[in-house]
Structure 1
Amino acid sequence: MPNTPSTKNRGIFLLPNLLTTAGLFSGFFAIVASMNNQFESAAIAIFVAMVFDGLDGRVARMTNTESDFGAEYDSMADIVSFGMAPALVMYNWALSDLGKFGWLAAFIFVAGGALRLARFNTNLGTSDKRYFQGLAIPSAAAIVSGLVWVGTKYQVDPNSISYLAAILTICAGLLMVSNFRYHSFKDVDWRGRVSFVVILIIVLAFVVVATEPSLVLFSIFFLYALSGPILTIRSVNRLELKHVVGDTDEECEAAKNADKREVEAKEAAKTVQKDDKKETSE
């Protein structure tokens, strides 16, 4: 049987989707570990999922194995690893005794993560690559799971900080659906040459992280979460509601252009149908 273009394109690329599956497994393991009161392992598993999430897209681009399936699969894995997993780990650790307020706080985080991913996927072609609109879901997951990791590492009684944990979880969820601008670091040239001093700084950074990984990583992502509001406030003359939440001017303009193109496409299709009917009748 000859290989047609349709048969050649069947199947999925193994390597990037294997990394995505590894990230999904890490997120699922975090949920199971938290159910067995292994909260430190659960928190670490979420950070491991972040590593796989950072690798799968880059590997796909480097090996020219990007695909629509991979993009959709990555989003589905992200909502489990960075949406459901951190929320359930936090709930099992500190929020379960708060009753309705506890599980609602966890749900706000999950809903914020799902909305963040949906907005990111729909704005992929129109957004500024240098910035994220809203806190990225892996960073939000790092804050929530980082608090669990720090609390478990230093034997903090979760009941003593349950309301603080709930507020942090809610804030992380709301920051994901905000309009605050966060540096994406996608404009960094990772293939370019750097000086010896830069390599030395990177080595020292790894040493600092290795000394107290839970506290250092939580502090880094917590400060990154604060950088969004600070960057947004400094970049505008007057802070308005649209800078915090809601549709931005760029999104409204993109939506109008999309609607216009859709109307034009429908009119063009109707014109083609009319021409075909005329030719058939003749």
Structure 2
Amino acid sequence: MSKLTKMIPNMFTLGNLYCGFLSIGFAASGQFNNAAILILIGMMLDSMDGRLARMLNADSKLGKELDSLADIVTFGVAPSFLVYYTYFFQFGVIGFAVAGLFPLFGAYRLARFNISTDKSSLNYFIGIPITAAGGILAILTLLGDIIPNIVTTVIFTSLCFLMVSRIRIPSLKEVPLPKYGTIVTLFLGTLLFVIYKGTYEQFPYLIYIATPLYIAYLAYRFVVKKKNKQ
């Protein structure tokens, strides 16, 4: 296998990291929809780099380190800045300090996962992954006009504790790669189209499609497991 082939997953990881950097910049300049969408694009890239690494047999220590760094920036620091600039800023220094807790909890969760001796399960995560937590905050920002700020605050606080909890969160790792890759490609393409056209107000409607699909998947997994136990 060529060195270029082995670098392909790392390119996706670096793209994820760059999305986090750009998101922070957009949030600081008041372009909150751009900032949120870049976090969601980072999620797509993050979901693909690991699968590509396994598919190409290109797992490496460098890739794992890059992945953790990208995750803490794109799904930890960037969402906390986004929440601060859209809501917590009105509380001054206290709001800034509270927003900073999110990447701290996320970093702890990542470190705990990296030293875990049991990473073999494909069925669940221990505690909500920082990727999902950061994505949820990005979606809340996009829906900011219809979701009360108090709800965002409660969810923000809950996500902090859920990341370091021992609760088992269902995983999508067992979704077949061709189907999963198709979904990722379509979703990413839609995001890029939305950014190009500037029709940000239409983007939240995609969530109404994605959420029922995920719930349906969880229900399917539950039924299959129950049948297997019988």
Q: TM-score range by the shorter chain?
A: 0.7 to 0.9
CA distance 1:139–1:186, shift in 2 (3 Å): same
Cα offset, 1:106, TM superposition: 1.2
The normalised TM-score by structure 2 is 0.74
What percent of counterpart residues are identical? Answer: 34
What is the count of residue pairs matched by the alignment? Answer: 199
| 1:49 to 2:42 alignment | yes
- In 2 relative to 1, CA 12–63 (structure 1 residues): closer, same or farther, beyond 3 Å? closer
Aligned with 1:220 (options 198, 211, 215): 211
Q: Which amino acid aligns with 1:217?
A: I
1:72 corresponds to: 65
Quick one: distance in 1 between partners of 2:135 and 2:58? 28
Deviations 1:204-230 (A, max 9, x none): x97xx9995425438839x97xx9xxx
Which protein has the larger Cα radius of gyration, Structure 1 or Structure 2? 1
1:12–1:107 Cα change, 3 Å: farther
1:127 offset after TM fit, Å? 5.6
Deviations 1:172-214 (A, max 9, x none): 111111111111122334469xxxxxx9xx7xx97xx999542
Of 137, 152, 156, 1:169 maps to 156
C-alpha distance in 1, partners of 2:124/2:49?
Answer: 20
TM-score for the superposition, normalised by structure 1: 0.61
Q: 1:13 to 1:128 in 2, by over 3 A?
A: closer
Taking only aligned residues, the RMSD between alpha carbons, in angstroms, comes to 3.3
**Larger relative contact order (Cα-Cα within 8 Å, sequence gap ≥ 6):** 2
- 3-state SS in 2 of match to 1:13: helix
Deviation of 1:121 (Å) = 1.2
Q: CA deviation at 1:12?
A: 9.8
Match of 1:82 among 72, 75, 80: 75
CA distance in 2, matches of 1:94, 1:125: 38
Does structure 1 conserve the Cα–Cα contact (< 8 Å) formed by 2:6 and 2:56? Answer: no
Name the CA distance, whole Å, in 1 between partners of 2:52 and 2:149.
39
Match for 1:146 among 108, 131, 139?
139
Task: Tell me the amino acid that sits aligned with residue 122 of structure 1.
Answer: I
CA contact (8 A) 1:98 1:162 kept: no
- Dislocated runs of 4+, deviation >6 Å: none
- Following the alignment from structure 2 to structure 1, what is the Cα–Cα distance between the partners of residues 88 and 155? 11
Distance across 2 between alignment mates of 1:109 and 1:69: 25
